[in-house]
Structure 1
Amino acid sequence: MNETPPGVVDLLGVLAYAELTAFLRLAEDAALLAPSLTDRAALGDVAAAEYGHFRLLRDRLASLGVDSEEAMAPFVDAIDAWHEQTKPSDWYEALVKAYVGTGIAGDFYREAARHADPSVTELVEEVLADEVRSAFTVDRVRAAIEQDPRLSGRLALWARRMVGEALSQGQRLAAARPDLAVLLVEPGSEDLAEIGRLFARLTEAHGKRMSALGLTPGP
């Protein structure tokens, strides 16, 4: 425990709670918003994968001598607030949130993991792998937009809201947890320059997700 940098414990803790809540919210969306049993089962599979990721993080924390409950506790309010502020009103908003909103939040964690121990970086990359979620959401959203092009504008606005809320959440977490914030900046670099590069990478990744969905990234 003493040899584990506090920022790494924070990173694993915030990611563990993010994965746990993703599982719970996706399962809820599958039950309440899915238009068919096939869609319900498919989103349920995504939720199950998120729970598997949570277990990996919980086990890694335990191997470090860290209680997962204590590691997650500082991030509960912020992540719960983000979910409440971005509660989808229909099936397609739920899909966009699962792909775009969760995606940009994951980009923050990837950036932090770049400056951690290689074993931590590898675990974070495994946990944030989104091939299943990507294939599922992209196929369904693109098909829906082809059927009703008017859906594109509404979902693009919703996606931009996801990003705004995720970035605000990331800034609040970084301000509240300085050890986690340190992982976001390359040691020895000029902070402002590195932060600029960080946001450029986040913006680029977001643009790729929007394009994959057939949506305009917007300003």
Structure 2
Amino acid sequence: MVLNDVPPPSTVDDPVYRTGVLELLGLLAYGEISACERLAEDAKMAPDLRLKVEIAAMASAEFGHFAKLRDHLVAIGEDPFEAMRPFAATFERYHQHTKPSDWLEGLVKAYVGDGLAADFYREIAAYLDAETRELVLETLSGTGHSEFVVEAIRAAIEQDPRLGGRLALWGRRLMGEALSQAQMVVAERDALSTVLVGGVDHPGMDLAAIGRMFTRLTEAHAARMEKLGLAA
């Protein structure tokens, strides 16, 4: 899933492009450590030890992704925590508005939220230089735990079909809140939005391209919900 309207940036030396990349990596790094923290909390709500371990493994994978981004930022002479700092409020708002009431909602949140984030970053990766694109795509590589979530949610619904309606509504709420926060980030970060719509060769925000991207994100969310056995 990538945007094809414009070619990748031709140079990594442009200061606007570099700023946009740093914003992207800071956003991605904060998202990974935030997901790790939330999954560790969600593991406490799991009903048995096996499920606790599965959720904790998801948290560990998120931390591994964060560590790669942190190390890359250090390697290019940037303070990873300064790069992450501007996005603290964004993730706090998202998590405040989407606090799961039980472990099932936590699993749906992890599955839907991670999937949406991965789709969003893959869209942007189309406009990055080769090194940064490889890092982003490597960070987004599958953790191997998605099938566990699908099986757990489907099994729970099979045992209690009434859960399906509640979790479907929860999934819609998650999607709406995530898209709202993503739109705010793109609108507030000029350098990041420049990278998003084509890098240094094509400055400015193409609202039509952004709209098409969010349409694709919505369609991917619907497919993800269907895989969980939930109506989007």
> TM-score, normalized by length of structure 2?
0.87
The reply on whether 1:202 has 2:195 as its aligned counterpart is no
**Pairwise CA distance, 1:131:** 4.5
Hey, what's the Cα distance between the residues in 1 that align with 2:67 and 2:143? 19
1:85 matched residue in structure 2: 97
* 2:27 match: 14
Pairing partner for 1:69 from 55, 67, 81? 81
CA displacement at 1:190 relative to structure 2: 8.6
Provide, for residues 151-182 of structure 1, a one-character-per-residue CA deviation record: whole Å limited to 9, x for no partner. Answer: 11100100011011101111111122111112
Q: Does 2:209 correspond to 1:184?
A: no
Decide which of 40, 45, 62 is 1:27's aligned counterpart. 40
2:177 is matched with 165
Verify: 1:124 aligned to 2:139, yes or no. Answer: no
Give yes or no for contact 1:17–1:72 (8 Å, CA) kept in 2: yes
Alignment of 1:39-54 (within 5 A): 39-54=51-66
The one of 14, 18, 23 equivalent to 1:5 is 18
Structure with the greater relative contact order (CA < 8 A, sep ≥ 6): 1 or 2? 2
Q: CA deviation at 1:196?
A: 2.8
1:215 is matched with: 230
Deviation of residue 105 (structure 1)? 2.6
Over 3 Å counting, the alpha-carbon distance change for 1:152 and 1:76 in structure 2 is same
CA separation in 2, counterparts of 1:216 and 1:130? 24
Q: Hey, what's the Cα distance between the residues in 2 that align with 1:186 and 1:180? A: 10
Measured after TM superposition, the shift of residue 2 of structure 1 is 6.7
Aligned partners of 2:58 and 2:143 also within 8 Å:
no
Q: Judge conservation of contact 2:27–2:84 (CA < 8 Å) in 1.
A: yes
* d(CA) in 2 for partners of 1:5, 1:106: 21
Structure 2 distance, partners of 1:123, 1:15, is: 11
Distance 2:149 2:206 in 1: 36
User: C-alpha displacement at 1:70, in angstroms?
Assistant: 0.7
Instruction: Give the number of equivalent residue pairs.
Output: 216
**Matching residue of 1:154:** 166
1:95 aligns with 2:107: yes
- The answer to whether the 8 Å contact 2:61/2:143 transfers is no
Contact 1:113 1:183 in 2 (8 A): no
Give 1:129 shift: 2.3
* Alignment counterpart, residue 127 of structure 2, candidates 115, 124, 127: 115
Structure 2 unaligned residues grouped into runs of 5+: 1-11
Aligned sequence identity (%): 54
Q: Does 1:136 align with 2:136?
A: no
Q: What is the distance in 1 between the residues matched to 2:66 and 2:213?
A: 26
Q: Which residue of 1 is the match for residue 3 of structure 2?
A: none
- TM-score normalised by length of structure 1: 0.92
Q: 1:65 to 1:190 in 2, by over 3 A?
A: closer
